Structures are given as structure tokens and as C-alpha cells.
């Protein structure tokens, strides 16, 4: 009995061991499948997030899945989007249109699978997109995969293309009008001269003719600016100064149209002084017309605020008024030539401003809300400044440099010797002028510092000889007074790299000038730039 039970138990154990081995094999296969599935899932997530646009999976009108791009660019957290109705993220301007298409698709009716709509980001701003819809099966149920392509770049390129085409038309139109006006101006000038010569009592008529002539000349100047799409020669201009000048011009423009200047307050906040690329006359004219436009929009009793800021690449002029604003449908037209909503205006001021800015690689933007005023942003490229050279301390610059000291004042020579040696320089004091010239001609001197207290004529002879032997050798000449300095400057004007310092001397100033001269020479800087820097 016991033997039978033992055999039965062993048989059961063997069977269980086989089952365990089978389960382990299946578990291994399941783990491998899970690993492969996780790998594929990660790859799909990577592909999903690398998709060059926005991707949304919808089921029953709710968001099941999104890629990271749409979340990051629209400012949403993943948890705040998943499971929410998609229509909560559609701008009010597009909601009715998109809802109508979605209902048609649910009813099985024909509906477009590609259309434009506006999403709304986390800050409430509309984001124009092109939507492409694909119907799929997800978890055995109907779903929609929505691909959304932002239209900012496309609309910006289209706007740029339209602006260029418009500018070409403006250029051709302006050229023809300017030629005709030039003929009229010449005729007016001839008539005015004849009337003035024959009948002096027609003073008022002559004055009127001259005013017409002046107005036509100004119009010709404006049209001349509009003729050229690109600048032929691009200069530079100090933008802060131009704003002040443009403010005065704008004040006169508004006054000439019969509106008192005191009725509008103009305030300037200059936070930078950038130098920008462009013709100063054209840029000033452009700014003046924008300011005048703001003053007239704020009349009477309004305010115009002007501010200037700068980045590493561009300068920004902000001109803001508190007038009635510009209607949305008019904002695209305000830069068109001869478009104006003000009686008695020609409608070329804003056209001129935009053309002048575009000519020099700039731009102009407008933000306006009816009843809340208008803000113009003028953008101009900043002229690149030469990089500043960092001057290390004298102890680093003058170390191991060979400096020659010359002069008859033992106190000054002794003090300079002690200070320069403390900075690591090698100091040489020649016994006479001949010895000094020999050391210089052999290239054993990096700089000469001379005290001209008594022997200025002799040192002048040395300087003239050195100018022929080693013209690039830097000199620092310590003159006792203004008269000696002036005489030395006139007699050694052909010496390229000489700096004259006048009493009273400051050792730190001498060290600073010596350091700057050595650094600039090592970087190949010219003496002219060194002189302009005040060294």
C-alpha cells in the first residue's frame, strides 16, 4: 500500500514538473512578446511625437490621444486634455462650422475631410490650422484620427508674397505719378515766376501757387521713396535722434491739417540708442507719419506713447494711441496707397512708412481693437557694432614685455622702472640716443616710454629715425605741459603709433594705456582706431 502511494505521488510530481516547465516556457514567450510590444509602443510613441504637426485621436467627440507637439505649442498639460470634448479646444470663430461637419460625418453624409479651422491655445489666442480627418477603428469602435497643420508659416509666406506684389505695383504706379507731378511742378514754378515779375499786387495768388508747389514737391519725395523696392545703398542712422526729429515733423503735419498741437499729448520713453540700417531721411519720414496718424486718431485730448527698445538683432519702435482703433476689416487695407478714412487726406502716409521700412529689411505690425486704440510696432535691423576688445590687467599684458624707458627725470624713470618690473616687464634704460636706436633696430624693444621734461628736441630726432626703422613700434610720450605736447604732436605727425600724455602723470593711467596699446597691436588694430578710443 505504501509502495503504491509513493509511486502515485512520484507520478503526480513528475506531471506537475512538466506543467511548471511548460508554464515557464509560455511565461518566457509572453515576456518576450510583452517586450516586443513595449518596444513597438515606444517606437509608435516616438513616431507619433515626431509627427510634423498636431495629431489628435477622437472617439465619441472626446480626445483619447494627442502627440506632445500640440500640447507643448498650445500650452496644455496632458491630463487637462485627455477625455475632454474636442470642441472645447476649437475657437468660437470655427466652432459652428466644425460642429456642422462632424454631425454630417456621424450621420454618414458627405463631408469634407480637409478644411481650415482655428484652435484655441491655453492663453485664449486663435491658432489657425489645416485639418485632415481619417476614419479608423479603435478598440473595435469607430474613431477619427485628426491631423492638424499650423498655418502660421503658410499665412506669413502668403502675406509676404502679396506684400511684395503690392510693392511692385506701388513702385510702378509711383514712378508714373511722380513724372507727371514733376511736369506740373515745373509749370507751376514757371507761372509763379512770371506772375511775380509782371504783377506784384497778386501776392496772395503767388503765395498760394508756392504752397501748391511745395505740397507737390513733398508728394514727389514720397513717391520717390515708394518707387524703389530695395535700398541701393544702405547707410546707418541713430534711431533715438530720428524719433525726436520725427516727433517735431509729426507735430507740424498735424498742425498743417488744422488741428491744434496742444490737444494731443505725445510722450517718449527711450530705453535704448540703437544704430539701425537705412537712410535717415526715409526712416524719419516713416516714423513721422505713424506718429502723426496716432495724434490725429487721438484728437482731441488724447495721448500718444512712443517707446524704443533694442535686441541683439533688431530695434523696436512702439507707437501707441488711445483713439477709436481700426476696424478688423480695415487693418489689411491701411497700408494700401490712397486708402484713407479721413477726409482731406491723400492716404499715402502709412504706405510710405511700410515701404521705407521694408526697403531696409524692416517690418511694421499693427494691433488695434475698436474703442481701445491702436499700436504700431516698427522693426528695423540693428547695424552691427565692432566687437569690443577686453583688456586684461597690466600684470598679464606686460609680463615678459621689453619696455624701454628714456628721460632725464630720475624720479619718474625710477618710479616707472619699479612699477613695470613689479608687473613682470623687462625694463631697459639706454645710456644715450645712439644706444636706444641700436636696441630698437635689433628688435629688442616692444614699447618705448619717454619723459620729455628737458630734452624734447633730441627725442624728436630719435622718434623721426625710429619711424623709418620700426614704424609700428608703440611710443608713450610724457609731455610736461600743453605747449610741449602740441609742439611734439606737430613735429611727429607721421609717427603712426604714438600716444602723448600730459602732466600731472598717474602711474595707473600709464599702465592702462601701455596695456591697451600692446593688446590692440597684438590683435592687429590700427592706430586710428586706437586714437578714436581715446587711448
Would you state the pLDDT for residue 531? 40
Please report whether residue 299 resides in a domain: yes
Q: What are phi and psi of 49, to 5 degrees?
A: -80, -20
The pLDDT of residue 353 is: 80
Residue 48 is assigned to a structural domain of this protein? no
Query: Does residue 244 sit in the same domain as residue 107?
Result: no
Whichever domain contains 343, its CATH number is 3.30.565.10
Same domain, 424 and 522: yes
Residue 424: domain span:
394-532
Query: Which sign, positive or negative, has the C-alpha torsion 171, 177, 183, 185?
Result: negative
- CATH code assigned at 76: 3.30.450.20
Q: Are both 324 and 280 inside the same structural domain?
A: yes
Regarding whether 402 and 370 lie in a shared domain, the answer is no
Predicted TM-score (pTM) of this structure = 0.42
Q: How many angstroms separate the CA atoms of 350 and 356, rounded?
A: 10
Contact 416, 449 (CB under 8 A): yes
Considering the domain architecture, whether residues 102 and 35 belong to the same structural domain is answered as no
Write down the pLDDT at residue 282.
82
In a domain, 388, yes or no: no
Q: Is 46 a domain residue?
A: no
What does the alpha-carbon distance between residue 346 and residue 333 come to, in Å, rounded to a whole number?
A: 14
Beta strand 374-381 pairing with 314-321: antiparallel
- Is 49 inside any structural domain? no
Do 171 and 300 fall into the same domain? Answer: no
Instruction: Identify the domain boundary among 358, 381, 404.
Output: 381
Q: Are residues 169 and 277 in the same domain?
A: no
Do 159 and 203 sit in the same domain of this protein? Answer: yes
Which residue, among 264, 235, 259, 234, has the nearest Cα to 247 in the 3D structure?
A: 264
Asked whether residue 161 falls in the same domain as residue 246, the answer is no
* Tens-binned pLDDT, residue by residue, of the chain (535 aa): 556 677 778 888 888 888 888 888 888 888 888 888 777 767 666 666 667 678 888 888 898 888 888 888 888 887 888 889 998 899 888 888 888 888 888 887 888 888 888 898 888 888 888 889 888 888 888 888 888 888 875 666 666 666 666 666 666 555 556 655 665 666 666 666 666 665 554 555 556 556 555 656 655 665 565 555 555 556 788 888 888 888 888 888 788 766 665 678 888 888 778 888 888 888 888 888 888 888 888 877 788 889 888 887 888 999 998 888 887 777 777 777 676 766 656 666 777 788 888 888 888 888 888 778 888 999 988 886 555 567 778 878 888 899 988 887 777 888 888 889 988 999 998 888 788 888 888 888 888 888 876 555 566 677 777 767 777 788 888 877 767 766 666 666 556 677 888 777 778 888 888 888 888 777 654 433 434 333 3
Which of 204, 227, 250 is where one domain is finished?
Answer: 227
CATH number, domain with residue 502: 3.40.50.2300
- The pLDDT, as a whole number, for residue 3 is 61
- Cα 153 to Cα 23, 147, 269, 479: the distances in Å are 58, 17, 33, 65
Number of domains in the chain: 5
One domain, residues 193 and 268: no
Q: CA–CA separation, 264 vs 293, rounded Å?
A: 12
- Residue 173 included in any domain: yes
Quote the pLDDT of residue 280: 85
Nearest-Å Rg of the Cα atoms of the chain is 40
Cβ atoms 305, 269 nearer than 8 A: yes
DSSP helix/strand/coil, 89? helix
Q: Say yes or no: 254 and 281 in one domain.
A: yes
Asked, for residue 45, whether it belongs to a domain, the answer is no
CB atoms within 10 A of CB 235: 15
Q: Which residue among 227, 246, 278 closes a domain?
A: 227
How many CB atoms are closer than 10 A to CB 51? 14
Question: Does 328 reside within a domain?
Answer: yes
375 touches 325 (CB < 8 A):
no
Do 167 and 128 belong to one domain?
A: no
Amino acid at each position: 500500500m505504501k509502495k503504491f502511494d509513493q509511486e502515485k505521488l512520484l507520478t503526480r510530481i513528475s506531471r506537475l514538473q512538466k506543467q511548471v516547465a511548460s508554464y515557464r516556457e509560455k511565461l518566457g514567450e509572453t515576456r518576450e512578446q510583452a517586450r516586443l510590444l513595449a518596444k513597438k509602443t515606444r517606437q509608435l510613441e516616438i513616431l507619433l511625437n515626431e509627427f510634423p504637426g498636431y495629431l489628435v485621436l477622437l472617439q465619441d467627440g472626446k480626445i483619447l490621444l494627442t502627440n506632445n507637439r500640440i500640447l507643448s505649442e498650445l500650452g496644455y498639460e496632458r491630463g487637462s486634455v485627455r477625455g475632454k470634448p474636442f470642441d472645447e479646444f476649437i475657437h468660437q470663430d470655427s466652432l459652428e462650422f466644425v460642429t456642422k461637419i462632424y454631425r454630417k460625418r456621424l450621420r454618414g453624409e458627405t463631408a469634407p475631410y480637409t478644411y481650415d479651422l482655428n484652435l484655441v491655445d491655453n492663453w485664449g489666442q486663435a491658432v489657425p490650422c489645416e485639418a485632415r480627418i481619417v476614419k479608423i477603428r479603435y478598440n473595435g469602435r469607430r474613431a477619427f484620427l485628426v491631423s492638424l497643420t499650423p498655418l502660421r508659416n503658410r499665412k506669413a509666406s502668403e502675406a509676404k508674397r502679396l506684400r511684395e506684389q503690392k510693392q511692385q505695383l506701388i513702385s510702378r504706379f509711383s514712378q508714373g505719378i511722380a513724372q507727371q507731378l514733376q511736369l506740373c511742378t515745373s509749370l507751376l514754378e514757371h507761372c509763379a515766376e512770371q506772375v511775380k515779375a509782371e504783377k506784384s499786387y497778386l501776392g496772395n495768388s503767388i503765395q498760394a501757387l508756392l504752397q501748391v508747389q511745395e505740397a507737390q514737391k513733398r508728394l514727389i519725395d514720397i513717391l520717390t521713396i515708394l518707387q524703389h523696392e530695395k535700398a541701393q545703398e544702405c547707410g546707418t542712422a541713430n534711431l533715438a535722434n530720428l524719433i525726436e526729429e520725427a516727433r517735431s515733423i509729426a507735430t507740424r503735419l498735424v498742425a498743417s491739417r488744422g488741428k491744434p498741437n496742444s490737444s494731443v499729448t505725445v510722450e517718449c520713453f527711450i530705453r535704448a540708442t540703437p544704430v539701425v540700417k537705412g537712410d535717415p531721411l526715409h526712416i524719419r519720414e516713416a516714423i513721422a507719419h505713424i506718429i502723426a496718424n496716432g495724434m490725429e486718431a487721438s484728437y482731441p485730448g488724447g495721448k500718444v506713447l512712443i517707446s524704443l527698445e533694442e535686441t541683439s538683432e533688431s530695434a523696436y519702435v512702439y507707437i501707441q494711441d488711445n483713439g477709436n482703433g481700426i476696424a478688423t476689416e480695415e487693418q489689411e487695407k491701411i497700408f494700401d496707397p490712397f486708402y484713407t478714412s479721413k477726409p482731406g487726406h491723400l492716404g499715402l502716409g502709412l504706405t510710405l512708412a511700410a515701404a521705407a521700412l521694408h526697403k531696409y529689411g524692416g517690418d511694421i505690425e499693427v494691433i488695434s481693437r475698436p474703442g481701445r486704440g491702436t499700436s504700431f510696432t516698427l522693426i528695423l535691423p540693428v547695424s552691427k557694432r565692432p566687437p569690443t576688445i577686453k583688456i586684461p590687467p597690466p600684470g598679464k599684458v606686460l609680463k615678459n614685455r621689453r619696455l624701454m624707458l628714456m628721460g632725464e627725470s630720475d624720479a619718474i624713470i625710477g618710479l616707472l622702472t619699479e612699477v613695470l618690473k613689479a608687473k613682470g616687464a623687462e625694463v631697459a634704460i639706454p645710456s644715450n640716443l645712439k644706444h636706444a636706436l641700436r636696441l630698437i633696430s635689433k628688435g629688442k624693444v616692444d614699447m618705448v616710454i619717454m619723459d620729455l621734461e628737458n630734452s624734447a628736441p633730441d627725442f624728436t630726432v630719435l622718434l623721426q629715425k625710429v619711424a623709418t626703422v620700426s614704424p609700428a613700434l608703440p611710443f608713450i610720450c610724457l609731455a610736461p605741459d600743453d605747449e610741449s605736447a602740441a609742439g611734439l604732436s606737430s613735429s611727429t605727425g607721421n609717427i603712426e603709433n604714438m600716444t602723448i600724455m600730459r602732466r600731472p602723470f598717474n602711474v595707473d593711467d600709464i599702465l592702462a594705456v601701455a596695456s591697451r596699446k600692446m593688446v590692440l597691436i597684438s590683435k592687429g588694430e590700427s592706430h586710428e582706431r586706437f586714437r578714436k578710443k581715446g587711448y
